[in-house]
Structure 1
């Protein structure tokens, strides 16, 4: 480990933000708490109107050698993709990490991720499962709700394209809290500016997984804060997720054509997903089916937690739908 860590490349950590005042300081402090010390932090403002701009400026003034504040001209709100790309353009690191402004890293995140990318030079990206973080509220009813999602792929090995792309396309996996080589970020063109929010990270990861090997692990490094004002919660309530899903699939079709992707399996999966999404009723039921399976399983596990004699039944429940 010591030999591997003799190579300590600069990691550019990019946090984009739009009015996350209640959470931003805790997010930034989770970067300062890293056991890996060769990092820079780019705080990229997407036109915030709350106190988060001043929080970011205070860190940039206090730690000018580590932290930089960026914003669009005229303090405009240009959306998530354009804001991440602004951070990428100003990043100096060999590796790039992304952290959402209301989430946090565990202290060993960058140390472990850098070790893995150093050890696997052919890997474009490393990622692990995220923790769905409810207990941050301090409410008693939320203390048992935290869960680490399943990776759902073989871990600690290189996954060659297009395998992870196919799973992303089918919404079987999610990728967050990743560490990416700067070169691949530039090769795939960064984030797609037409996606202002929602699916912008999905598209970014889709491009990487379609073109380069990725190294998934079982380590959890990322705590994904659950609250009603995060973009995914709002999208589900407003129905925006369905519209953006269609937009994403249309983008995929165009991207596959433009890049002359001829893999038959890729096209078959794409057509299947497009047909499902083209029918709102079918799409709604397929989405609800996945959600209901998870809710039922979580409820049963909650009931059984206090009954150790039911361990065999608990194991059976865990095996439902791939654990």
Structure 2
């Protein structure tokens, strides 16, 4: 028996050029409630000088299969003009979802901006996502269904 270590060959892996979630067909989740009975979910999105990503993030939330969503975009004193114009256009846009723009008086940082938005939301369920995040269209509905069915995890 030889005690020499075996040489390992390098792992060969070629990454795909498209994200995996673009090829996944989401399953339709059946909700047990009518639209009036559904709990409201606030989506908190802190923002600082990342206007080029904002529309993609908000569009992924707007594509949600869950209908009772409101979005709070917390502007952490963005300084670039592009971010400010994107926020202004979002505030004026009309959609099925209410979008609130909350502006901080000073740059307080990502965590504090997120917490500032959370304090503005007085609801049972809050989802926080960052500017570069996207959610699949049944993400909120699956989450709310799971939390409503398993009330013991909310304690």
Q: Any conservation in 1 of the 2:31–2:141 contact (CA below 8 Å)?
A: no
TM-score normalised by L of structure 2 = 0.72
Corresponding residue number in structure 2 for 1:71: 103
CA RMSD between the two structures: 1.9
C-alpha distance in 1, partners of 2:53/2:93?
19
User: Runs ≥4 in structure 1, deviation > 6 angstroms?
Assistant: none
Instruction: Select which of 56, 62, 66 maps to 2:87.
Output: 56
* Greater relative CO, 1 or 2 (CA 8 Å, sep 6+): 2
Corresponding residue number in structure 2 for 1:26: 56
Corresponding residue number in structure 1 for 2:135: 105
What secondary structure is seen at the aligned counterpart in 1 of 2:130? coil
User: How far does the alpha carbon of each residue in 1:121-172 deviate from its partner, in whole angstroms, 9 at most, with x for none?
Assistant: 1223xxxxxxxxxxxxxxxxxxxxxxxxxxxxxxxxxxxxxxxxxxxxxxxx
Corresponding residue number in structure 2 for 1:5: 33
Size of the alignment, in residue pairs?
A: 123
Q: Any conservation in 2 of the 1:4–1:119 contact (CA below 8 Å)?
A: no
C-alpha distance in 2, partners of 1:78/1:22?
21
Q: CA deviation at 1:2?
A: 4.9
Q: 1:109 to 1:2 in 2, by over 3 A?
A: closer
What secondary structure is seen at the aligned counterpart in 2 of 1:122? helix
Q: Which structure shows the bigger proportion of residues in helix conformation?
A: 1
Which sections of structure 2, spanning at least 5 residues, go unmatched?
A: 1-28
Q: CA deviation at 1:3?
A: 6.3
**In the TM superposition, what are the counterparts of 1:146-225 in structure 2 within 5 Å?**
none
